[in-house]
Amino acid sequence: MKDIDWSKLTFSYTPTDYMVHCHYGNGAWGELQATKEMTLPIHVAAAGLQYAQQCFEGLKAYRRADGTIGIFRPEENALRMQASAKAMYMPPVPTELFLKVVTLAVKKNIEYLPPYGTEASMYIRPIMFGTTPKVGVSPASEFEFCVIVTPIGPYYPAGFGTTPFVINRHVDRAAPLGTGQYKVGGNYASSFRATEPAHEAGMGVLFLDSLEHKYLDECGGANIFLVKNGTYCTPKSDSILPSIINRSLMDLCRDLGIPVEQRHIPVEELGEFQEAASCGTGAAISPISRITDPDNGVVYDYGEDAGPVCQLLYKTLRDIQFGRSEDKHHWCYII
């Protein structure tokens, strides 16, 4: 294991030893390559650079209580990446190949996987992009599928904290019938003009639906859920990325006897909820202390401490990921 102060890891990139990649050309996937070189020669006219023909994923590996190493629900990431690839007119990476590349990337960098007990993990970033040189607007015929990994610390090194959010009606995250339900880079780059000013003010951004600006959409780059009288509520929309963590939390709610609603949530209903949180791979659950609606001069307050449902779901999910409790859904892929 590498000589790293695991307690000081943050959610940022730490260089590791190997990248694993696979080339697609002539209608077929090539052989896997594990290399210590973290850069690839790419033509400046590559379709991935010129026209953003790319997609990516994010998942994590954990050292578990029994000494095994598990990756959380990678098959679901493979399926989601296949959907994103099809939307961007790229060849989907078969699930078997996805799992093989991800597993090899973890194994080749195993000394960077944080030890059990630190609550740290290994973040896994698969990415695929078109490499064919293009000037005319048309899709690539050659692609590169790469996986890098990096050790990351717990999202809350000082404890399970809350973050304030602000509603932004002046930037749309994704258009109806657009790419909001896919994990593609353009969705995130186009949101920076809203998220970065908010981050500088110590807040996250809550985007509304792009058609009417009436309903909750997503929290920056994550899904949102809220708790109303003990019921787990999360927005329903074709423009929202289908978060694997959000779906897992809904399954856990059903296991725990917590009612679940996935529906349109109007802004005006925010005052009726007792808890709110964003959820995604990075933090799992990030409780929201308050949501400010600057256009209407309203602040919806949920408290400076995580609520009981957020705390219960966070502990339940983390215990499964780290092997401290039964994985009855078989979510953890043991390598």
Query: Which CATH number goes with the domain that contains 314?
Result: 3.20.10.10
Residues 123 and 226 in one domain: no
Residues 79 and 228 in one domain: no
Kindly state whether residue 333 falls inside one of the protein's structural domains: no
Residues 79 and 172 in one domain: no
User: Which pLDDT belongs to residue 8?
Assistant: 86
User: Which pLDDT belongs to residue 303?
Assistant: 95
Examine the fold and report which residue of 106, 121, 152 is the final residue of a domain before the chain moves on: 152
Examine the fold and report which residue of 122, 152, 182 is the final residue of a domain before the chain moves on: 152
Kindly state whether residue 33 falls inside one of the protein's structural domains: yes
143 strand-pairing partners: 24, 130
Q: Which of 37, 13, 11, 34 is nearest to 22 (CA)?
A: 34
Residues 251 and 276 in one domain: yes
Kindly state whether residue 335 falls inside one of the protein's structural domains: no
Q: Which CATH number does the domain housing residue 96 bear?
A: 3.30.470.10
> pTM of the entire structure?
0.95
Give the three-state DSSP class for 218.
strand
> What's the token pair of residue 235?
């927005």
Rounded Cα distance, 65 and 68, in Å: 7
Altogether, the residues listed in the chain come to a count of 335
Residues 139 and 175 in one domain: no
Domain that holds residue 50: 6-152
Total domain count for the chain? 2
Residues 42 and 147 in one domain: yes
Kindly state whether residue 207 falls inside one of the protein's structural domains: yes
Residues 31 and 138 in one domain: yes
Query: Is residue 328 annotated as a catalytic residue, yes or no?
Result: no
Residues 172 and 314 in one domain: yes
Kindly state whether residue 1 falls inside one of the protein's structural domains: no
Cα four-point dihedral sign 123, 200, 243, 229:
positive
Kindly state whether residue 224 falls inside one of the protein's structural domains: yes
Residues 60 and 170 in one domain: no
User: Which pLDDT belongs to residue 1?
Assistant: 83
Q: What residues contact residue 119 under an 8 Å CB cut-off, 6+ apart?
A: 153, 154, 318, 322
Residues 145 and 169 in one domain: no
Rounded Cα distance, 170 and 167, in Å: 9
Question: Do the beta carbons of residue 262 and residue 250 sit within 8 Å?
Answer: yes
Kindly state whether residue 330 falls inside one of the protein's structural domains: no
User: Which pLDDT belongs to residue 111?
Assistant: 97
Rounded Cα distance, 165 and 2, in Å: 37
Residues 178 and 139 in one domain: no
Catalytic entry in 183, 214, 228, 328: 183
> What's the token pair of residue 252?
């856990």
Residues 111 and 193 in one domain: no
Question: Do the beta carbons of residue 227 and residue 273 sit within 8 Å?
Answer: yes
Kindly state whether residue 210 falls inside one of the protein's structural domains: yes
Count Cβ atoms below 10 Å from residue 326 Cβ, excluding itself. Answer: 8
Rounded Cα distance, 175 and 311, in Å: 33
In the block, which residue shows the tokens 């996935």?
262
Phi and psi angles of residue 173, each rounded to the nearest 5 degrees, phi first = -70, -40
Q: In tens digits, what is the pLDDT along the chain, a chain of 335 residues?
A: 888 888 888 888 999 999 999 999 999 999 999 999 999 999 999 999 999 999 999 999 999 999 999 999 999 999 999 999 999 999 999 999 999 999 999 999 999 999 999 989 999 999 999 999 999 999 999 999 999 999 998 765 555 789 999 999 999 998 889 999 999 999 999 999 999 999 999 999 999 999 999 999 999 889 999 999 999 999 999 999 999 999 999 999 999 999 999 999 999 999 999 999 999 998 899 999 999 999 999 999 999 999 999 999 999 999 999 999 999 999 999 99
Q: Which of 102, 156, 131, 175 is nearest to 40 (CA)?
A: 131
Examine the fold and report which residue of 127, 152, 177 is the final residue of a domain before the chain moves on: 152
